[in-house]
Amino acid sequence: MEMMNTDDDSLCEDSGNETSGDDVDFNVEVETSVPKESQSYDDEYQYEVLSTSDIVQYMSDIIDEVNSVLQLPPTTARILLNYFHWDKEKLMERFFDGDQDELFKEANVINPFKKIPVTGKPKLSLKIRGTEECDICFMVFAPSHMTGLECGHRFCYQCWNEYLTTKIVEEGVGQTIACAAHNCPILVDDETVMRLVKDTRVKIKYQHLITNSFIECNRLLRWCPSPDCNYAVKVAYVDFKPVVCCCGHIFCFACGENWHDPVKCSLLKKWIKKCDDDSETSNWISANTKECPKCGATIEKDGGCNHMVCKNQNCKADFCWVCLGSWEPHGSSWYNCNKYDEDEAKAARDAQERSRAALQRYLFYCNRYMNHMQSLKFEHKLYSSVKDKMEEMQQHNMSWIEVQFLKKAVDILCKCRQTLMYTYVFAYYLKKNNQSVIFEDNQKDLERTTELLSEYLERDITQENLVDIKQKVQDKYRYCDGRRKALLDHVHEGYEQDWWVCKEA
Amino acid sequence: MANIAAQRIRREFKEVIKSEEVAKCAIKVELLNDSYTELKGEITGPPDTAYEGGVFVLEIKVPETYPFNPPKVRFITKIWHPNISSVTGAICLDILKDQWAAAMTLRTVLLSLQALLSAAEPDDPQDAVVAKQFKENIEMFQMTARHWTNVYAGGPHVNKECDDKIKRLVDMGVEEHQARVALSSYNWDIERATEQIFS
């Protein structure tokens, strides 16, 4: 039974490995084409985790591939590829269809097929024949101490080193360092940089800048967003799918946020923005205050009397808090506000009710979202208490493998919390229909079972007999996981069948 | 590194002194200390501009990393120009920032600054007040710049009207430069300038 459930904790042990175990599992299922419940939605998505050296290798593979057709010097190919954001098809198209001279000029490289006569000829020192003067340090050197790019601007080795180091270390420029001469746009290729820079740390920084710009402009690559992680993930096509980095971090490839099924990236982005900005403050103001019907000043009612007198000294309007109409017809003998149906006042009330309702609705979802997020943070404490429990059990003649179910239970708990958290974002933007009612039922079920599992792991477990624990924990987490998958499957089906109608909020 | 900087400045210093612009008295550089880190520059106002006849003194600070980073330059002489702060003398010029190239020299910097005096870039201003006047009322700008050149840079064009207005404010107890700034900023409208000073 245990084996059936070992699924998605497939952290790959080494860089560059495909997460293969699950794919095999999936292929079997394609043949039988029976969706099994334990099959998680995401296993079919293929991706690779690349280390820094893998990335460098991958870059040079692309360059080689392009060069097998274009026959350019690799350094020129790299600059051109970078110019086209590493889209090799686009480069090929431009290369064969357009004006090649124009292409090289745009990308700021010298056309390697055309050795144009050097324009700026070496500045020969007047004093000593057979020497050149460096335009940066103004020292006179033998020509063997001077070097430059195809543009013909030559400087001494020491100045090149200083120049490139300044650009790389201080300005953080990688792929687009230009020749040191004034107004010369020709780019320095990577080979030249590596040859002329002396300090290894600078070289490492340079390589980092190069790989960084490669990843940034390549749609099929993304850095792992977790802090201090140097791995990148490579996919075959961009999709809203979870990827697991070698560091253990799980994130959505499409947007880079933590994996947020069932809610889609665009809505999550909207939600995060909503939570971050202050739009709810203004919602509060409009829900709890009214505006003076005459001057528009914002008013909060602080007493029982509905006869309002605007405190704005230039306004001093008398009006009724209930209907926002003028106070005059209300008189003093009849308090009942009979102005209820007056169009203008009604519109004002409606608008206010709407924003009050919107605020309450937002707070409802936000509260639950935040609550699960908070709990998720606390579950990390649970890991350590569970670890103690596992050690205790091992001392009671249980093997290491036998006690792993406890850790697995916490894993599942965290997954459920994460899913629950994002279901509230999903629900916030969801318009009510029959399917949304089913969704809410699923959500309720999952929430209830998750809380049960959480409570059991946190409290009840200490009172139980060690032998009973295993059965109970396994029952509980399997049920939780089942509910989670049922909920997600239902949402995914809804995406395919177009059940979900998005609410503008 | 500092070695290159000092070496460069020593050589550049000679270059400027020998250059034909010095012969024409258009630019000048003086050393302020022995370590070649601080210099004093001078440029003359270009002919046919409001700055003609004035001599503008510049503070030049050479960083350790020169010539891989640009020298820090500002005007010591007060000047009325869209790309130069009328308060601090800070300069907005691309070659002193991201367009600096290691192969540029003090001589090219001074000549570029001189070119800036004859061709202002009001769309990329350092001093918004001056730039606004430049764009909205070019004659008023020319007159003000000429007056500043006369007062601070030794230019030949005395403007009696300006001097009178300033004197009236000075008589009210306003400091002279403050009066000049206020009047310049409000197109020499003495009432608005007074209002601004005393509000």
Instruction: Report the distance separating Cα B196 and Cα B174, nearest Å.
Output: 12
Q: What is the mean pLDDT of residues B136-156?
A: 92
User: Are the C-beta atoms of A356 and A348 separated by less than 8 Å?
Assistant: no
Whether A163 and B65 lie within 8 Å, measured CB to CB:
no
Whether A162 and B4 lie within 8 Å, measured CB to CB:
yes
Question: What is the structure's pLDDT at A484?
Answer: 93
Burial (CB < 10 A; 0-12, 13-18, 19+), residue A24, is exposed
User: Are the C-beta atoms of A349 and A287 separated by less than 8 Å?
Assistant: no
Question: What is the structure's pLDDT at B180?
Answer: 93
User: Are the C-beta atoms of A410 and A386 separated by less than 8 Å?
Assistant: yes
φ, ψ at B151 (rounded to 5°): -75, -45
Residue ranges, comma separated, of all CATH 3.30.40.10 domains in chain A are 132-229
Question: What is the structure's pLDDT at A21?
Answer: 38
Residue with tokens 């293969």: A20
Question: What is the structure's pLDDT at A341?
Answer: 55
Q: Which of A138, A158, A170 lies at the smallest CB-CB distance from B11?
A: A138
SS (H, E, C) A203-245: HHHHHHHHHHHHHHHCCCEEECCCCCCCCEEEECCCCCCEEEC
For residue A169, give the chain B residue with the closest CA: B68
Residue by residue, DSSP assigns A401-422 as HHHHHHHHHHHHHHHHHHHHHH
Residues of B annotated as catalytic (active site), given as ranges: 92
CATH architecture for the domain at A132-229: 2-Layer Sandwich (3.30)
Check CB contact of A182 with chain B, cutoff 8 Å: yes
Question: What is the structure's pLDDT at A345?
Answer: 67
Whether B4 and A136 lie within 8 Å, measured CB to CB:
yes
Check CB contact of A222 with chain B, cutoff 8 Å: no
Residue ranges, comma separated, of all CATH 1.20.120.1750 domains in chain A are 359-497
**Confidence class for position B77, pLDDT limits 50, 70, 90:** very high
Q: Which helix (H) or strand (E) holds A156?
A: strand A154-156
pLDDT for residue A44 is more than 80: no
**Which candidate, B20, B30, B132, places its Cα nearest to that of B76?**
B30
pLDDT for residue B5 is more than 70: yes
Whether A180 and B104 lie within 8 Å, measured CB to CB:
no
Q: Where are the domains of chain B?
A: 2-118, 128-198
CA distance A137 to chain B (A): 5
Residue by residue, DSSP assigns A355-387 as HHHHHHHHHHHHHHHHHHHHHHHHHHHHHHHHH
* Topology classification of domain B2-118: Ubiquitin Conjugating Enzyme (3.10.110)
Whether B103 and A136 lie within 8 Å, measured CB to CB:
yes
Whether A163 and B108 lie within 8 Å, measured CB to CB:
no
For residue B7, give the chain A residue with the closest CA: A137
Which residues does A44 contact at the CB level (< 8 Å), separation at least 6? A23, A26
Instruction: Report the distance separating Cα A202 and Cα A207, nearest Å.
Output: 9
Question: What is the structure's pLDDT at A308?
Answer: 78
Question: What is the structure's pLDDT at A33?
Answer: 34
Check CB contact of A68 with chain B, cutoff 8 Å: no
Does the A359-497 domain belong in CATH 3.40.50.2020? no
Residue with tokens 């290159």: B4
- Looking at this protein, which amino acid is placed at residue A346? K
pLDDT for residue A10 is more than 50: no
Residues of A within 8 A of B67 (CB-CB) are 136-137
Check CB contact of A169 with chain B, cutoff 8 Å: no
**Per-residue pLDDT tens over the stretch A414-453:** 999 999 999 999 999 988 888 999 999 999 999 999 988 8
Residues of B within 8 A of A155 (CB-CB) are 102-103
Check CB contact of A115 with chain B, cutoff 8 Å: no
**Per-residue pLDDT tens over the stretch A378-405:** 887 888 888 888 888 888 777 888 888 8
Among the listed residues A151, A224, A292, A305, the single catalytic one is A305
CA distance B100 to chain A (A): 8
Q: Which of B11, B68, B108 lies at the smallest CB-CB distance from A163?
A: B68
pLDDT for residue B144 is more than 90: yes
Q: What is the mean pLDDT of residues A298-312?
A: 72
Q: Which of A137, A180, A182 lies at the smallest CB-CB distance from B4?
A: A137
Most confident segment among A91-95, A365-369, B52-56: B52-56
pLDDT for residue B59 is more than 90: yes
φ, ψ at A243 (rounded to 5°): -130, 145
φ, ψ at B81 (rounded to 5°): -155, 140
CA distance A150 to chain B (A): 17
Residue to substitute from B16, B62, B68, B97, interface A, most A β-carbons within 10 A: B68
Whether A166 and B103 lie within 8 Å, measured CB to CB:
no
Question: What is the structure's pLDDT at B140?
Answer: 92
**Per-residue pLDDT tens over the stretch A48-66:** 899 888 888 888 888 888 8
Whether B108 and A182 lie within 8 Å, measured CB to CB:
yes
Check CB contact of A127 with chain B, cutoff 8 Å: no
Beta pairing, strands A146-148 & A221-223: unpaired
Tokens coding A67? 């060069």
Whether B7 and A137 lie within 8 Å, measured CB to CB:
yes
Whether A182 and B68 lie within 8 Å, measured CB to CB:
no
Instruction: Report the distance separating Cα A299 and Cα A310, nearest Å.
Output: 8
Question: What is the structure's pLDDT at A422?
Answer: 93
- Averaged pLDDT of chain A: 78
- Averaged pLDDT of chain B: 88
Residues of chain B whose beta carbon is less than 8 angstroms from a beta carbon of chain A are 1, 4, 7-8, 11-12, 65, 67-69, 101-104, 108
Specify the range with the lowest mean pLDDT, choosing from A88-92, A278-282, A461-465, B122-126: A278-282
Sign of CA dihedral B155, B160, B162, B168: positive
User: Are the C-beta atoms of B114 and B46 separated by less than 8 Å?
Assistant: yes
Q: What is the mean pLDDT of residues A25-50?
A: 50
**Confidence class for position A303, pLDDT limits 50, 70, 90:** low
